[in-house]
Amino acid sequence: MNIKITGTGSYIPENIEKNEDFYNHEFLNSDGSTIKAPNETIVRKFKAITGINERRYAKAHLNTSDMASFAAEKAIENANINREDLDYIIVAHNYGDVRHDSIQSDTVPSIASRVKHLLRIKNPKCVGYDLLFGCPGWVQGVIQAHAFIKAGIAKKCLVIGAETLSRITDPHDRDSMIYSDGAGAVVVEATEDKGGILAHEAATYAFDEAHYIYFGETNKPEIKEDRRYIKMYGRKIYEFALTNVPLAMKACLENSGIPVSDVKKVLIHQANEKMDEAIVKRFYNLYDMDMPEGIMPMSIGKLGNSSVATIPTLYDLVLNGGIDQQEINKGDVIIFASVGAGMNINAFVYKQ
């Protein structure tokens, strides 16, 4: 028995927010002081660092659970399974359903229960639960699904990553340009087919690093509303990721028994183009190798950083010809890896 991803699906919101749309924002430093540069310069520097040209925002009437259900429908159809046979629905997110123009996150009932409801699944033994693990949440969901199936307590699992980060970003913070919305889903099941999940790795660094990403006040001190926004210490995250993610990827690959020369793709959380490239380069440096050309498909330039949704969305796009000059073929070895709030790191090695 092997444990494989047998179906994929994604939902990419229709609303496009381009870099030029931020020219009229009032960006401020974290202490509320004015940034001594025109917005055109701020945006240009942002693009040079992150690689982001545009990002996607959910339409006002849609929430995280809606987008999650759209991606799930596609994954179920792609896997050609009966939805009533699902044993688990695992939904990775971080902020629940934040309705348009609301200041409150709604997580009761769970997003997984809402998705199950929207999918019209009747079977009560199909268990739905939410997973809060920062941006690596979807990868962790796949690791958990693998464990359930390997333990014999499940045969089919639906793992979803969905988020509407656009609704918890501070418009006066330059970092708000990073974030986006989206959803990706996979069906994981036991199969006689060759390949599947070969090894996995996960870690939480919380002694000094727990609050590198946090909920904080707006950069504009004149605004007194009791509202919090996603905030981060970008430089600390960059240094943390470059130090720890390549080591986790290497440990995972060594546990799989697969030589690095057999790796065909690295699907990494779409956090920041320069950071992602530096992580993968450093991973190959651990083997005294240069990063192979085309090894790292990227979607961040057009889709931004949608947290838990970036990797499953990227995977679905590559499989379906949605990324130029990128493809995944039967038998290809792929490393999935992510880093995010917690601070959490994880990875798994997968044979298509």
For the stretch 36-61, pLDDT in tens is 888 999 999 999 999 999 999 999 99
| Distance, CA of 4 to CA of 187 (rounded, Å) | 8
| Distance, CA of 277 to CA of 293 (rounded, Å) | 11
Per-residue pLDDT tens for 271-280?
A: 999 999 999 9
pLDDT of residue 227: 86
Q: Residue 339 in 3-state DSSP?
A: strand
Kindly state the percentage of the chain with pLDDT values over 70: 100
Per-residue pLDDT tens for 64-98?
A: 999 999 999 999 999 999 999 999 999 999 999 99
**Structure tokens that stand for 149 in this block:** 């199936």
Model confidence band, residue 292 (pLDDT cutoffs 50, 70, 90): very high
Pick the CATH number of 198-351 from 3.60.20.30, 1.10.10.10, 1.10.357.10, 3.40.47.10: 3.40.47.10
pLDDT of residue 219: 82
> Which residues of the chain form CATH 3.40.47.10?
2-194, 198-351
pLDDT: is 24 or 70 the higher one? 70
Q: What is the mean pLDDT of residues 126-146?
A: 98
Please determine, for residue 161, whether its predicted confidence score (pLDDT) is greater than 90. Answer: yes
Per-residue pLDDT tens for 93-126?
A: 999 999 998 878 889 999 999 999 999 999 999 9
pLDDT of residue 293: 93
pLDDT of residue 226: 80
Q: Shortest CA distance to 334 belongs to which of 197, 145, 193?
A: 197
Q: Is the dihedral of CA 200, 206, 211, 212 positive or negative?
A: negative
pLDDT: is 27 or 188 the higher one? 188
Please determine, for residue 333, whether its predicted confidence score (pLDDT) is greater than 90. Answer: yes
| Distance, CA of 110 to CA of 112 (rounded, Å) | 5
| Distance, CA of 94 to CA of 134 (rounded, Å) | 6
pLDDT: is 33 or 154 the higher one? 154
Q: Place domain 2-194 in its CATH homologous superfamily.
A: Thiolase/Chalcone synthase (3.40.47.10)
Please determine, for residue 304, whether its predicted confidence score (pLDDT) is greater than 90. Answer: yes
Model confidence band, residue 263 (pLDDT cutoffs 50, 70, 90): very high
pLDDT of residue 28: 87
- Please state the three-class secondary structure of the chain as a single string: CEEEEEEEEEECCCEEEEHHHHCCCCCECCCCCECCCCHHHHHHHHHHHHCCCEEEECCCCCCHHHHHHHHHHHHHHHHCCCHHHCCEEEEECCCCECCCCCCCCECCCCHHHHHHHHCCCCCCCCEEEEECCCCCHHHHHHHHHHHHHHCCCCCEEEEEEEEEHHHHCCCCCHHHHCECEEEEEEEEEEECCCCEEEEEEEEECCCCCCCCEEEECCCCCCCCCCCCEEEECHHHHHHHHHHHHHHHHHHHHHHHCCCHHHEEEEEECCCCHHHHHHHHHHHHHCCCCCCCCCCCCCCHHHHCECHHHHHHHHHHHHHCCCCCCCCCCCCCEEEEEEEECCCEEEEEEEEC
The pLDDT mean for the chain works out to 95
Please determine, for residue 148, whether its predicted confidence score (pLDDT) is greater than 90. Answer: yes
| Distance, CA of 4 to CA of 97 (rounded, Å) | 30
Model confidence band, residue 221 (pLDDT cutoffs 50, 70, 90): confident
State CA 180 to chain mean position distance. 11
